[in-house]
Amino acid sequence: MNSPVGLAAFLLVVLATAVIGFYGLRISRTTGDFYVASRTVPPWWNASAIGGEYLSAASFLGVAGLILLSGTDALWFPVGYTAGYLMLLLFVAAPLRRSGAYTIPDFTEARLESTAVRRVTSLVVVAVGWLYIVPQLHGAGLTIRISTGLPSWVGALAVVLVVYLSVAAGGMRSITFVQAFQYWLKLTALAVPVVFVLLHQSGGSAVPAPESVNPTGLPAAGGYQTVSLLVALLFGTLGLPHVLVRFYTNPDGRSARRTTLIVLGLLSVFYLFPTAAGLLGRMYAPGLARDGRSDALVLLLPGELVGGPAGDALSALVVAGAFAAFLSTTSGLVVSLAGVISQDLLGGSVRGFRIAALLAAVVPLAFALATDSLGLAGSVGLVFAFTASTICPVLLLGIWWRGLSDAGAIAGMLTGAVLCGGAMVAGTLLGAGTAPAWLAQPAAWTVPAAFAVMVLVSRATKQRIPGTVTRVMTRLHVPERPLANER
C-alpha cells in the first residue's frame, strides 16, 4: 500500500476525533456530565454511539479475516456479536437503566448491599476492560505496519495517546459525539470499498466457488466449538462494561429499549460488509490466508483487486475506518474503566478520573507491546467468554432473581473468573493449534458452572439476602412515569 496515503488517512481520523472531542469539552461541566453525559443524549445519537463503540478491531478486521480463514464457521461471529445485543435488550437494558447506577460495580453493590461484592465486580470489570483493549492495540499495530510500513508499536502508542487525551479532556459527552461519528465512518469505510470491489469483480469472467476454496486446509469446526462460541458471544455482550455504561445515557427504561432496537439495525447493516469482504477474499485473494495476513484482509483487498490510484484511495478509506474502530472501542473501554477505577480508588473527582484514565490505558499498552496478536476475532471471542462467565451471571440473577445473596455473587464470579481465566491461560500456553476444543472455547462449561455456583451458594446463605431486595427490584422493573402524565 502507498504509505503516505495510509498515514494521511490515519492523521485525518485522529484530527476529526480531536476536533469533535474538544467541541464536546465546552458542553461538559459537572462531574455528572463527565460520567454519563447527563442522560440527555437522543436515541439516534446514542444508538450510533453504541454501535461505534461496539464495532471494534475484531468486527472491522477480525471478522473478514476469520471468514477468509475458516469460511462459513466464521459467519457465527458477526451473528453472535449482533445477537448478543438481542440478549442485552431482553434481559438487561431497561432494568439496568432504571437502576440509576453508573457502573456495573455500582449496580452490584446497590443490589446486594455489599462493598465486598463491589470490589470483586470492580476487579472483574477492570480485567475485562484490559483484556479487551489489548486486541484493539494489536489491530492498530497491524494496520499501521501494513498501511505505512512503520513498526507496530507506533500504531498502538498513537491510539493510546489520542484516546487518553480525548477522554481526559472531554469525558463521556464528547465521547458520545465521537463514537456516533465513528460508527458512520466505519460503515462508510467498509461499505464503499466492498461495493466498489464487487462491481469491479462482477465484470470478470470465471468466478471461483467459495466452498471449493479452503486456503488454509483447516478442518471444519465441531458442533461443540460452535455452540460454545455462541454461548460466549450471546451472553458475553451483556456484561461488557463499555456497552453497559452507554445505557445510562438514555433518559428512561423505555428509551433504553428503543435505543437497543436501533443499535440492532445498525449492527445488522454493518456486519453485511465484513461478511461480504470475507467472501470476496476467499474467492479472489485466498493467498492472503496462507502467509498469515488474514486479519489485514480488508486493508489489502482494494489494493489486491482494484489497484492503481482507485485502490489506494479505497485503502486509505479502510485505514481510516480501522483507526476509527480502534479509537472508539478503546476510548469507550477507557472511559468505563476510568469510571470504575476512579470511583473505587480515587474518590470520584474529575482529577481522579483523569489519573484513572491513564491507568486504564497504559497497562494494556504495555501488555500489547509485549505480546503478539493471535487472530483478532478469536482473542475478542475469549474476552466475551470471560464476561459471560463472570459479569453476565451476576447481572442476570441480580435483575431477575430475588434469592441472590452477596456470598453467592462473589463465589459465582470467582468461579467463572478462575475457570475461564485458567482455560484461557492453559489454551494460550498449549498453542492455538494443539489446545483441545474445551480449552480453546471454554464458555459452554464455564458459564453454566458460574451460574450453578452462584445459585447454590445463594441458596445456602439465604440469611444474607439483603432486606432492601423488594425495594430495589421494584425500582428496576417498574416503569418511570411518562413526563406528560406527571401530576
Partner 1 sequence: MTRVRVTAPQSAGRRPAGLPPGGSQNRDAAVDSEVGRLYVRSLIRSQLRLAVVVAAGFLLVLAASGLMVALVPDLAGLRLLGVPVNWLLLGAGLYPVIGLAAWLYNRSAARNEARYRDLVDER
Which of the residues 187 through 226 are near partner 1 (CB under 8 A)?
Answer: 207, 209-211, 223, 226
Is 142 or 476 the residue whose CB approaches partner 1 more closely? 476
Return the range that interacts with partner 1 (CB under 8 A); candidates 123-131, 327-335, 342-350, 427-435: 342-350
- The set of cell numbers assigned to 147 is 498501511
Q: Which of 35, 130, 164, 284 binds partner 1 (CB under 8 A)?
A: 35
Is 431 or 482 the residue whose CB approaches partner 1 more closely? 482
Q: Does 32 bind partner 1 (CB under 8 A)?
A: yes
Q: Are 254 and 477 in contact (CB under 8 A)?
A: no
Q: Which of 4, 26, 115, 218 binds partner 1 (CB under 8 A)?
A: 115
Is 87 or 306 the residue whose CB approaches partner 1 more closely? 87
Q: Which of 398, 322, 305 is nearest to 13 (CA)?
A: 322
Q: Which of 3, 268, 371, 434 binds partner 1 (CB under 8 A)?
A: 268
Question: Among the residues of 248-345, which ranges form H helices?
Answer: 253-284, 287-290, 297-305, 308-345
Distances (CA, A) of 110 to 117, 393, 427, 429, 470: 10, 16, 36, 39, 12
Q: Which of 15, 19, 90, 429 binds partner 1 (CB under 8 A)?
A: 90
Distances (CA, A) of 227 to 76, 80, 167, 291, 477: 10, 11, 37, 29, 31
Q: How far apart are CA 277 and CA 298, in angstroms?
A: 7
Q: Does 176 bind partner 1 (CB under 8 A)?
A: no
Interface with partner 1 in residues 417-476 (CB under 8 A): 470-475
Residue with cell 482507485: 310
Q: Which of 389, 390, 465 is nearest to 123 (CA)?
A: 390
Distances (CA, A) of 52 to 118, 176, 486: 29, 9, 35
Q: Does 480 bind partner 1 (CB under 8 A)?
A: yes
Return the range that interacts with partner 1 (CB under 8 A); candidates 1-9, 88-96, 318-326, 404-412: 88-96
Task: Supply the minimum distance, in Å, between the C-beta of residue 143 and partner 1.
Answer: 24
**In the chain, what is the straight-line distance between the N-terminal and C-terminal CA atoms, in Å?**
64
CB proximity list for 213: less than 8 A, separation 6 or greater: 282, 283, 286
Q: Which of 16, 123, 165, 261 binds partner 1 (CB under 8 A)?
A: 261
Q: How many CB atoms lie within 10 A of CB 436?
A: 10
Task: Supply the minimum distance, in Å, between the C-beta of residue 367 and partner 1.
Answer: 28
Q: Does 102 bind partner 1 (CB under 8 A)?
A: yes
- The set of cell numbers assigned to 238 is 451483556
- The set of cell numbers assigned to 217 is 486446509
What angle do helix axes 376-400 and 223-236 make, rounded to 10 degrees? 60
Task: Supply the minimum distance, in Å, between the C-beta of residue 265 and partner 1.
Answer: 6
CB proximity list for 214: less than 8 A, separation 6 or greater: 71
Q: Are 50 and 184 in contact (CB under 8 A)?
A: no
Q: Which of 18, 86, 123, 369 binds partner 1 (CB under 8 A)?
A: 86
Q: Which of 27, 145, 169, 254 binds partner 1 (CB under 8 A)?
A: 254
Instruction: Let me know the angle formed at the C-alpha of 137 by 244 and 390, rounded to the nearest 5 degrees.
Output: 35
Task: Supply the minimum distance, in Å, between the C-beta of residue 238 and partner 1.
Answer: 11
Phi and psi dihedrals of 217, rounded to 5?
70, 20
Is 68 or 320 the residue whose CB approaches partner 1 more closely? 68
Is 115 or 434 the residue whose CB approaches partner 1 more closely? 115
Q: Which of 217, 372, 463, 484 binds partner 1 (CB under 8 A)?
A: 484
Q: Does 479 bind partner 1 (CB under 8 A)?
A: yes
Site pattern 272..311 for partner 1 (x: CB under 8 A): x--xx--x--------------------------------
Interface with partner 1 in residues 361-400 (CB under 8 A): 400
Task: Supply the minimum distance, in Å, between the C-beta of residue 1 and partner 1.
Answer: 27
Report how many residues bind partner 1 under the rule CB under 8 A: 71
Distances (CA, A) of 14 to 220, 272, 445: 40, 26, 42
Is 83 or 313 the residue whose CB approaches partner 1 more closely? 83
Task: Supply the minimum distance, in Å, between the C-beta of residue 473 and partner 1.
Answer: 7
What angle do helix axes 308-345 and 3-25 make, rounded to 10 degrees? 40
Is 160 or 396 the residue whose CB approaches partner 1 more closely? 396
Return the range that interacts with partner 1 (CB under 8 A); candidates 42-50, 127-135, 260-268, 409-417: 260-268
Q: How far apart are CA 272 and CA 325, in angstroms?
A: 16
Is 106 or 295 the residue whose CB approaches partner 1 more closely? 106
Q: Does 348 bind partner 1 (CB under 8 A)?
A: yes
